[in-house]
């Protein structure tokens, strides 16, 4: 067997999560980047090729797709859902974690971001400045989350990089 992109774990994982191999075959994926398929877990992973993330507002220097992040913050946090502009404050704080990585170190930045992912952080966004827990993931009802897998995602940080898969 010759080693190539078609027989690596990258494509196998993409096809398994997004159900693409069963529905349309691996050669048709490039022509249908925005299809949604149900997988064994019924979570509805969506495949968006890295080149097509720009259509959703992501630039090479961005880590987040801001529109998706803002939608998730509004959907998973009722207080933010009532006042969507509050999501911008949370996104600003999340970007701060990433920017601080060059000072605090990558390990510490990962630990801090992990706390955000687990819903262990709060912000004074409630009535009269009351702290509310910020949820980035709904662990109790996984169907409330949005699942996107991208392949060959371009990122411009300290150098140009292409990530094989980003979930």
Q: pLDDT truncated to tens, each residue of the chain (167 aa)?
A: 676 666 678 888 888 788 765 544 444 444 444 444 444 445 678 899 999 999 999 999 988 999 999 999 999 999 999 999 999 999 999 999 988 888 999 999 999 999 999 999 999 999 999 999 999 999 999 989 999 999 999 988 778 889 999 99
SS3 at position 154: strand
Q: What is the pLDDT of residue 21?
A: 54
What per-residue confidence (pLDDT) applies to 10?
83
Query: Does residue 31 sit within a domain?
Result: no
Is residue 82 included in any domain, yes or no? yes
Residue 35 lies in a domain: no
Q: How many domains does the chain have?
A: 1
- pLDDT on residue 43: 65
Residue 29 in domain: no
Residue 98 domain-assigned?
A: yes
For 15, other C-beta atoms within 10 Å of its C-beta total 20
Q: What is the pLDDT of residue 26?
A: 41
3-state secondary structure of 152: strand
User: Any idea what the Cα angle at residue 53 is, between residues 65 and 150, rounded to 5°?
Assistant: 95
Burial bucket for residue 158 (CB in 10 Å: 0-12, 13-18, 19+): exposed
**Boundaries of domain holding 113:** 48-166
């Amino acid at each position: 067997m010759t080693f190539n992109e078609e027989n690596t774990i990258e494509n196998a994982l993409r096809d398994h999560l997004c159900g693409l191999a069963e529905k349309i075959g691996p050669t048709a994926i490039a022509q249908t980047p925005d299809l949604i398929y149900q997988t064994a877990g019924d979570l509805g992973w969506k495949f968006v090729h890295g080149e097509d993330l720009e259509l959703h507002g992501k630039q090479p220097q961005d880590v987040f797709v801001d529109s998706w992040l803002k939608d998730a913050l509004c959907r998973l946090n009722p207080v933010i859902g009532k006042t969507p502009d509050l999501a911008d404050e949370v996104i600003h704080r999340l970007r701060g974690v990433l920017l601080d990585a060059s000072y605090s170190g990558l390990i510490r930045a990962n630990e801090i971001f992990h706390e955000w992912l687990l819903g262990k952080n709060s912000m004074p966004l409630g009535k009269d400045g009351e702290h509310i827990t910020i949820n980035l993931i709904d662990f109790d009802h996984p169907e409330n989350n949005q699942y996107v897998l991208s392949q060959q995602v371009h990122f411009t940080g300290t150098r140009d990089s292409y990530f094989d898969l980003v979930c």
